């Protein structure tokens, strides 16, 4: 393959653009077409496709065969969530091929990110490709029957995730990430340092209330604790179900659920509340509510969100 020095650029994040294909040749990049055959590359060359790029995080497809997710905030909890679901259910998730968290460190002060000498605490997960296309690319083209079918499929898959038995080693934790670590959900971030674990529904509601007051919430200052839903049962939860994280095939069958970084143990209403949070996905949340096997009053959660986000 002939290389043009004028098109060769360093292999750096600023030179990678979402949706583009490149040939990686050592520490350099060459633009290429999606139809390139990896078998015809020179020794040491690889085809990469930029599936997603946001802030300091990158999702790449390599040689049309496997995917890496790397960068700021990529933690072992996400890999553990995928392994956990794959082990205990038949819900289609990426298979974790390898991980590298040797360069990860916790960022306890978000102001660190904006300092000139800040180095991203990089994590890396290598995983298999889930077939299909993201639901967000076709949702608006679907008729009502297809939308209903996809939503029913999702609720069925989520019911299997919810029925996973809690591991004995985290029995005492009411809410936590998949690996037992503390959640990074901004609604549940502790104002105290070091952060305290959440061991009951009462503590979870109190945590939301504390953040609400801390962020200037006044309208429901005396009512919010009673407005928040109550649940003595926490279940395994994806916590970020959205069209961008759902893969479907040409027949509108769900082929996989992606992005398990927020997954963990949450109150049993949490998945429902997250799915119905305000978003820009058209009538997606309407159809998910319409097909939900169970509904909760999440007025308190929505009231808190208006202040916290």
Among 15-19, 53-57, 151-155, top mean pLDDT goes to: 151-155
Tokens of 62: 């390599």
DSSP codes joined into one string, 164-214 = SPPPGGGTT-SBEETTSPPP--TTS--SSSSPPPB-SHHHHHHHHHHHHHH
- Average pLDDT (62-88) is 93
Instruction: Give the pLDDT of residue 6.
Output: 54
Cα gap 208→118, rounded to integer Å: 30
Q: 225 preceded by cis ω (within 30°)?
A: no
Average pLDDT, the chain: 89
Token pair 């909890």 is found at 77
Reported confidence tier of residue 1, pLDDT bands at 50, 70, 90 = very low
Most confident of 119-133, 167-181, 235-249: 235-249
Q: What is the pLDDT of residue 43?
A: 84
What domains are defined for the chain? Answer: 9-128 (3.30.200.20), 133-308 (3.90.1200.10)
Q: Which of 95-99, 130-134, 192-196, 286-290 has the lowest mean pLDDT?
A: 192-196
Least confident of 3-12, 138-147, 166-175: 3-12
Average pLDDT over residues 212-230: 95
What is the torsion angle, in degrees rounded to the nearest 10, for the CA atoms of residue 51, residue 53, residue 54 and residue 58? 100
Other beta carbons within 10 Å of 27: 8
pLDDT, tens only, 236-283: 999 999 999 999 999 999 999 999 999 999 999 999 999 998 776 789
For tokens 């978003």, what's the residue?
Answer: 279
Return the half-sphere exposure (C-beta side, CA atoms, 13 A cut-off) of residue 141.
7
Using the predicted structure, report yes or no on whether residue 296 has a pLDDT greater than 70.
yes
Backbone angles phi, psi at 4, to 5 degrees: -100, 115
Give the neighbor-by-neighbor strand order of the sheet with 176-177: 176-177, 264-267, 234-237
Say what the pTM is.
0.87
266: part of which helix (H) or strand (E)? Answer: strand 264-267
Contact between 32 and 21 under an 8 Å Cβ cutoff? The reply is yes
pLDDT single digits (tens) 143-170: 999 999 999 999 999 999 999 999 988 8
pLDDT recorded at residue 211: 95
pLDDT > 90? residue 35: no
N-term to C-term CA, the chain: 50
The tokens describing 30, both together, are 């060459």
Q: pLDDT at position 64, please?
A: 87
Three-state secondary structure call for residue 53: strand
């Amino acid at each position: 393959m002939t290389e043009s020095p004028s098109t060769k650029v360093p292999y750096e994040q600023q030179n990678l653009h979402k949706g583009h294909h490149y040939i990686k040749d050592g520490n350099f990049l060459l633009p290429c077409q999606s139809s390139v055959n990896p078998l015809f590359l020179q020794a040491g060359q690889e085809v990469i496709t930029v599936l997603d790029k946001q802030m300091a995080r990158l999702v790449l497809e390599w040689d049309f065969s496997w995917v890496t997710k790397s960068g700021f905030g990529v933690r072992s909890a996400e890999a553990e969530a995928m392994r956990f679901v794959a082990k205990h259910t038949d819900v289609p998730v990426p298979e974790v091929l390898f991980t590298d968290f040797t360069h990860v460190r916790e960022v306890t002060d978000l102001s660190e990110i904006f300092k000139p000498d800040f180095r991203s605490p990089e994590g890396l997960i290598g995983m298999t490709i889930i077939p299909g296309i993201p639901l967000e690319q076709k949702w608006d083209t679907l008729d009502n029957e297809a939308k209903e079918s996809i939503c029913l499929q999702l609720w069925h898959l989520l019911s299997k995730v919810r029925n996973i038995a809690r591991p004995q080693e985290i029995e005492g934790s009411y809410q936590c990430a998949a690996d037992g670590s503390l959640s990074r959900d901004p609604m549940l971030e502790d104002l105290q340092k070091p952060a305290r674990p959440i061991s009951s529904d009462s503590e979870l509601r109190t945590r939301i209330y504390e953040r609400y007051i801390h962020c200037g919430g006044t309208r429901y200052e005396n009512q919010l604790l009673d407005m928040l839903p109550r649940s003595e049962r926490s279940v395994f939860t994806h916590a970020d179900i959205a069209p961008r994280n759902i893969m479907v095939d040409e027949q509108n069958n769900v082929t996989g659920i992606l992005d398990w970084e927020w997954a963990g143990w949450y109150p049993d209403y949490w998945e429902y509340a997250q799915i119905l949070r305000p978003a820009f996905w058209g009538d997606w949340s309407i159809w998910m509510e319409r097909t939900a096997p169970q509904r909760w009053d999440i007025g308190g959660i929505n009231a808190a969100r208006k202040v916290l986000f």
